[in-house]
Amino acid sequence: MSSTTASSTDRIERQIMLKASKSRVWKALTNTEEFGSWFGVELTGQTFVPGQHVRGRMNSNGCDRGADVQFDALVVEMQTERLFSYRWHPYSVDPAVDYSKEERTLVVMELIEVNGGTLLKVVESGFDKVPASRRVEALKMHSGGWEAQLKNIERYVDHG
């Protein structure tokens, strides 16, 4: 079950209770092929390493625009079975736009062991630095996107 814990113009906060161990959720978050399976991105042959990028094409599971959209994340931090974070360009779906000059938002995924499973908290912050012309749409699309992605990981770790 996912829930909205807070929202503002700068950040999105979501959380979900998963009926899986912290180690299982951690593997789903930090093994690139598992992450790609539930998140909807092709990352085969890559590894999440702090300070390095992972890149791949989104598929229909991860984005309604599918193969037009590139996933490009810069891994920030990995604290085993506790915290995984990366930076990316939010709602970077227009192939005609060069997003490389924009600041990236920060996605922080925190795992907390609870009775019966793992609480996964996701915070994406930094939307106030997104250019004004796309800020509202990026915040709106990622807000809904995180709702969908939490359902995806729930199905992935709880039932598969």
Q: Report the percentage of the chain scoring pLDDT > 90.
A: 78
Token digits of residue 116: 């019966």
CA-nearest of 87, 96, 150, 98 to 122 is 150
Report how far residue 55's alpha carbon sits from residue 63's, in angstroms, rounded to the nearest whole number: 15
Domain, as residue range, for 124: 2-159
Q: How many domains are contained in the chain?
A: 1
Which residues have CB under 8 Å from 45's CB, separation 6+?
A: none
CB atoms within 10 A of CB 96: 4
Please write the tens of the pLDDT for every residue from 73-112: 999 999 999 999 999 999 988 888 889 999 999 999 999 9
Q: Is the pTM of this model over 0.85?
A: yes
CATH of residue 18: 3.30.530.20
Token digits of residue 137: 């749409």
**What letter would DSSP give residue 38?**
H
CA-nearest of 137, 107, 102, 135 to 39 is 107
Which residues have CB under 8 Å from 159's CB, separation 6+?
A: none
Report how far residue 104's alpha carbon sits from residue 76's, in angstroms, rounded to the nearest whole number: 12
Please write the tens of the pLDDT for every residue from 36-48: 999 999 999 999 9
Per-residue pLDDT band for 20 (boundaries 50, 70, 90) equals very high
